[in-house]
Amino acid sequence: MTHVIKKPDWIRIRPPSGKKFLGIKKIIEDLKLNTVCSDARCPNMGECWSNGNATFMILGSICTRNCGFCGVEKGTEGESLSALEPGRIARAVEKMGLKYVVLTSVDRDDLPDSGSEHFANCINSIKSMDKEIIVEALIPDFRGDELCIRKIIAAHPDVVGHNIETVKELQAHVRDERAGYDLSLEVLKKIRQMSSSIHAKSSLMLGFGETEGMILKTMDDLRSAGVSILTLGQYLRPSVIQLEVKEYISPEKFEYYKRIACEKGFISVMSGPLVRSSYMAEKSLFSKD
């Protein structure tokens, strides 16, 4: 029998409420869009939608990877791509009045280009509507294909994120076997090599049993890969199907890691129990407010 660790008091999830939440929900439903907020069961959905923000998830709602931490629906094949999705994304951005947009996606290993052209089309659709809108593209690894990554860079997003997810020692336990620590670092390096003006971003989940030394080594590796923006958050089990939480990291420890990350040279760090890779992204150093 496994021992389930009790969730601490500092993990408090805000329930959805208010006119803004309902407004976002209606826009998403009317335009037939997916969000990582709902599909991945993000604990911040209530807070973000109530503040008028959402993270769009493109390329369908079925992921071809089978990572042990993720609550998104899995399958060997994804849904057919809709040529209307880029335009719908742009309309949603306009209706929501967003000045900072985060686009992410499922993995699409079933597509020849892993969905990279469609991803780029979504970025272009937003930028063609208003070049002043800041776009953060949180991309899959595209199997490390340089041509796929170049398509994203050519669309001129302001930030390109790719999540390394966990420390090197736990990659095989946490992520799909087609993913990997070295592959993710290579993708991040290519982002920086292809564009000096685009900021590279990555995210680390804590609570899988990693040690402090492993975390600090991962920070060093990310900095060496050219990553300038880092987020650290607590892994929370979406359902009983996913991996168990091995440890709950205290808010004080997250603050400690933030200080260390800043000392290592990251120019923007978000660190806390409920921080996710796109959490409060609009409040980063790129905000024009």
- Choose the weakest-confidence range: 42-51, 100-109, 239-248: 42-51
What is the arithmetic mean of pLDDT over 196-222? 97
Helix or strand holding residue 276 (H, E): none
Give residue 23's pLDDT: 76
Tell me the CB-side half-sphere exposure of residue 85, using CA atoms within 13 A.
24
User: pLDDT at residue 230 above 60?
Assistant: yes
Residue 5 carries which DSSP code?
Answer: P
User: pLDDT at residue 49 above 60?
Assistant: no
241: three-class secondary structure by DSSP: coil
pLDDT band at 220 (very low <50, low <70, confident <90, very high): very high
What is the arithmetic mean of pLDDT over 66-71? 91
**Which stretches of 31-158 are DSSP H helices?**
36-39, 45-50, 85-96, 116-129, 146-154
Could you give the percent of the chain with pLDDT greater than 90?
A: 68
pLDDT digits (tens, 9 = 90+) for 209-219: 999 999 999 99
The backbone torsions φ and ψ at residue 213, rounded to the nearest 5 degrees and listed phi first, read -60, -40
pLDDT digits (tens, 9 = 90+) for 146-176: 999 999 999 999 999 999 999 999 999 999 9
Count of Cβ atoms closer than 10 Å to residue 252 Cβ: 9
Give exposure, 144-176, as e/b (b: 16+ Cβ within 10 Å): ebeebbebbbebbbbbbbbbbbbbbebbeebbb
User: pLDDT at residue 93 above 50?
Assistant: yes
Give residue 173's pLDDT: 96
What is the arithmetic mean of pLDDT over 88-93? 92
What is the arithmetic mean of pLDDT over 64-80? 93
pLDDT band at 40 (very low <50, low <70, confident <90, very high): very low
Architecture of the domain spanning 19-283: Alpha-Beta Barrel (3.20)
pLDDT digits (tens, 9 = 90+) for 112-139: 999 999 999 999 999 999 999 999 999 9
Count of Cβ atoms closer than 10 Å to residue 223 Cβ: 15
**Taking the model in full, what pTM does it have?**
0.89
Could you give the percent of the chain with pLDDT greater than 70?
A: 85
- Choose the weakest-confidence range: 2-6, 213-217, 237-241: 2-6
Q: If 0-12 CB within 10 Å is exposed, 13-18 middle and 19+ buried, where does residue 192 land?
A: middle
How many residues does this entry show for the chain? 289
In contact, 36 and 61? CB cutoff 8 Å: no
User: What are the structural domain ranges in the chain?
Assistant: 19-283
Top pLDDT among 23 and 279 is at: 23
- Choose the weakest-confidence range: 35-49, 61-75, 90-104, 212-226: 35-49
Q: Which of 249, 256, 210 is nearest to 233 (CA)?
A: 249
